[in-house]
Structure 1
Amino acid sequence: MPLSVFFAAWLIAVGIGWWIHTMQGSGDSSGEPMFTGAAQAPLWALVFVAAYSASHTFPFSMALSYSRRTFMLGVILAFGLVSVAFGAAFILAAWIERVTDGFGMHFYTFNLPYLTQGSGGIVAAGALAATLCLVLMMVGFFWAILYLRAGLFTLWVIILGLAVVGLAGTMLIFQNDGWPVIWEWIMQQSALSLTGWLAILAVGLAGLNYGVIRRATPA
């Protein structure tokens, strides 16, 4: 499914780009480049897959008498392999867009300048995509395993609590004019540095998931 979403989102984005290019009614290929966010579409499909793996394969692994530690190691390995595959696909797609000049229309889904023109180029962008994929899959897995651990009521209490904290934090940032500082920090990062930050987050999420799954009960 995620692979189908990857190509479907890319195809739809290119189709929209071709339509816009045609509507402009110009054969000039030197126009302003256009960028799309369709590259994130398969990530959300992978979040669903990660949550599904927690809710369905965890009870099965317990029925086979695997330890929670073994299951968690398998999850990390599987998520890691999927993330590497996504990163490789991102690199290949960005390279295709670069060599074809955005399919002759300057229309880009993966070859995004902010990610691919810094140190490391397309490879660094692929590493960032892979690490982001791993983080999001860990997040999807966390919510599903938390449901098995704490139940539906507690899950919603935690979600609402985090929403309130997030809203309060956003209001404080607005009140103290903090968004320009945050945006400036983001713009100063490269694909490699963002990969490093996300890698740290992924390690933390792996530890958190293991802590939750130790007391989770199969449904």
Structure 2
Amino acid sequence: MMRTTALVTVARYLLLDRVTYVVLPWAWGAFGFAIDVVILRLTPAGDTGQRWVGGLAAVFIVVFSAGVQTVARALPFALTLGVSRRTYYLGACALALAMAACFGLVVTLGQAVERATGGWGLHMAFFRVPYVLAGPWYMSWLTATTAFALLFVYGMWHGLVYRRAGMTGTTIFGGAQLTALALAAVIATWAHGWTSIGHFFTTITVAGATGVLAILVAVMFAGGFATIRRLTV
């Protein structure tokens, strides 16, 4: 069995680049927060109780980018140090889970401050997302953690495809996903299933949606693991 210390070593190696994994996500989050504040100050409040904004999405996007860079930049040097592909991938995934849990906690604490300050004095819902991140703190933490982990692992899979097949392979990889979605839409239309699909998404609970995200995390993890085993750097 692989020693836990090997995974910790990989995580520590990756965290040598703290800017990518710690600073940049929340620097972009702070930038998005500032932009949202400016926009809300320049626009009338209206009659709505909460003013929903989308600046938090910047953090999730940067986490995806960090996943890509985990493979695109850091993997080759790690392999020259004698780290096996399997150890590196599992260590990177362990870091992804730890980061996701911490980032989810930041979102949860941000929600608490947001509620206590009346939405930062602007009725702004930055850390609260309608339906998805608007429930009890523990559900918000679990959902945010799962979403962060999903984007990080998905980013790593993209990075692995790029390392293995270059830009052409990455383009084909992305195109295959879009084709699969288009094919699913055609099948749903042919089977008159859009009503059932709409009913599913409008009735599913936050816990159920989080479960779906967790399944996607497992799928992305398996896809990345299968890709890195055949990777030649």
TM bucket (normalised to shorter chain) is 0.7 to 0.9
Tell me what 1:54 maps to.
71
Partner of residue 100, structure 2: 83
Q: How far apart in 2 are the matches of 1:139 and 1:16?
A: 32
Deviation at 1:85, TM superposition (A): 1.7
Q: Which residue of 2 aligns with 1:9?
A: 32
Deviates more, 1:146-155 or 1:52-61: 146-155
Distance 2:33 2:42 in 1: 14
How far is 1:21 from its partner? 3.7
Equivalent in 91, 95, 114 of residue 74 of structure 1 = 91
CA contact (8 A) 2:64 2:154 kept: yes
Partner residue in 2 for 1:45: 62
Q: CA deviation at 1:213?
A: 0.2
Q: Retained in 2: the 8 A contact 1:10–1:39? A: yes
In the TM superposition, residue 175 of structure 1 has moved relative to its aligned partner by: 5.0
Give, in whole Å, the separation in 1 of the partners of 2:158 and 2:129: 31
1:159 aligns with 2:174: yes
Residue deviations 1:94-131, cap 9 Å, x none?
A: 1122122222332212223513554xx12211211111
Whole-Å Cα distance in 2 between the matches of residues 105 and 177 of structure 1?
44
What's the counterpart of residue 123 of structure 1?
Answer: 138
C-alpha deviation, 1:149, in angstroms: 2.0
How has the CA–CA distance of structure 1 residues 156 and 103 changed in structure 2, closer, same or farther, with 3 Å as cutoff? closer
Gap runs ≥5 in structure 2: 1-23
Aligned mate of 2:157, from 133, 137, 142: 142
8 Å CA contact 1:115, 1:124 repeated in 2 = no
Q: Counterparts of 2:96 and 2:69 in 1: how far apart (Å)?
A: 13
Amino acid at match of 2:166: G
Aligned positions, number: 210
Contact persistence 1:52–1:144 (CA under 8 A): yes
Matched position secondary structure for 2:231: coil
Give the superposition deviation at 1:168.
2.8
The aligned counterpart of 2:116 is 99
Against the structure 1 CA distance between its residues 177 and 125, is the aligned structure 2 distance closer, same or farther, given a 3 Å change threshold? farther
Q: Could you tell me how far apart the structure 1 residues matched to 2:192 and 2:33 are?
A: 37
- 1:169 aligned partner: 184
Is contact 1:115-1:122 (8 Å) kept?
Answer: no
Displacement after TM superposition at 1:47 (Å): 0.9
State the alpha-carbon separation in 2 of the partners of residues 33 and 177 from structure 1: 36
Q: Deviations over 1:6-47 (max 9, x none)?
A: 12112221221222247x6xxxxx744221222211111111
Give me the whole-angstrom Cα distance separating, in 2, the residues matched to 1:151 and 1:117: 40
CA 174–35 in structure 1, closer or farther in 2 if over 3 Å, else same: farther
Contact 1:90 1:110 in 2 (8 A): yes
State whether residues 133 and 143 of structure 2, in contact with CA within 8 Å, keep that contact through their aligned partners in structure 1. no
Aligned twin of 1:27 = none
The whole-number CA distance in structure 2 between the counterparts of 1:161 and 1:96 is 42
Gaps of 5+ in 1: 25-29
Residue aligning to 2:53: 36
